[in-house]
Structure 1
Amino acid sequence: MKLAPRIVLQLPLGNPDALGPFVEDCLRHGVVLIAVVGENAAAVEDLIDDFVIGDGSDRSRFIVTTQHEGETLEDVMEFAATFNARSEARTALACAACIGPKTSPF
């Protein structure tokens, strides 16, 4: 299944170990935005950035990330909807409520 180009990731993460593979899927599918909403959003955004950057040798690995701690899911969905990606002006949104079983401290 192809991922939407703009993702709103709602915390808490169900399985933090699934975050790395999720980010790799986002890179493969051309996701241009991951907006993280919820408690500890800044920490999760930093983890996503680390996965995207890797060792820094592949400059084609790029996703815009934003953190929205203290904001409502609705506000972040609106932000993502108005985010102007390089390709399309209007694209589908995806809201990943959790990744895997709820065992995360995030």
Structure 2
Amino acid sequence: MSYPSRVVLRLPLSNEDLLSVFVEQCLRDRVTLIAVVGEGAARIEDIIDELVLGDGTDDRRFVVTTSHANETVEEVLEFAGFWNDEGDRSVQIVNL
């Protein structure tokens, strides 16, 4: 399964351990935006940022992350839909 260039990660997570696999797949698929929505979004966004950064030696590992704790999924989908991206215009909701 591959992801489009923009993803909305809906919280809560069923298992936080799934984040590392998700992030690596997003990097392989060249996802440009991961928008995290739900309670605790800022904390999950920070974890994703750390996973993307890795050991800091690979400057090709980059994805923009945003957190939206007090917004609805529909609002975040709209935000992601307007995200400036030259590639794929679709947005996918992801539940882990």
The alignment's TM-score, normalised by the length of structure 1, stands at 0.87
Root mean square deviation, CA, Å: 0.9
Secondary structure of 2:56's counterpart equals coil
Q: Percent identity?
A: 51
Q: 5+ residue gaps in structure 2?
A: none
Partner of 1:95: 93
1:94 alignment partner AA = Q
Task: For residue 58 of structure 1, give the secondary structure of its aligned residue in structure 2.
Answer: coil
The unaligned stretches of length 5 or more in structure 1 are 100-106
Partner of 2:54: 54
Displacement over 2 Å in runs of 4+: none
Q: Does 1:29 align with 2:53?
A: no
The separation in 2 between residues aligned to 1:18 and 1:5, in whole angstroms, is: 19
Contact 2:3 2:29 in 1 (8 A): yes
Aligned length: 96
Structure number with larger C-alpha Rg? 1
Separation (CA, whole Å) in 2 of partners of 1:59 and 1:47: 18
| Aligned residue number for residue 40 of structure 1 | 40
What's 1:103 paired with? Answer: none
Determine the C-alpha separation between the residues in 2 that align with 1:72 and 1:21. Answer: 25
SS of the equivalent of 1:95 reads strand
Rounded to whole Å, the distance in 2 between the matches of 1:29 and 1:69 is 26
Length-normalised TM-score, structure 2: 0.96
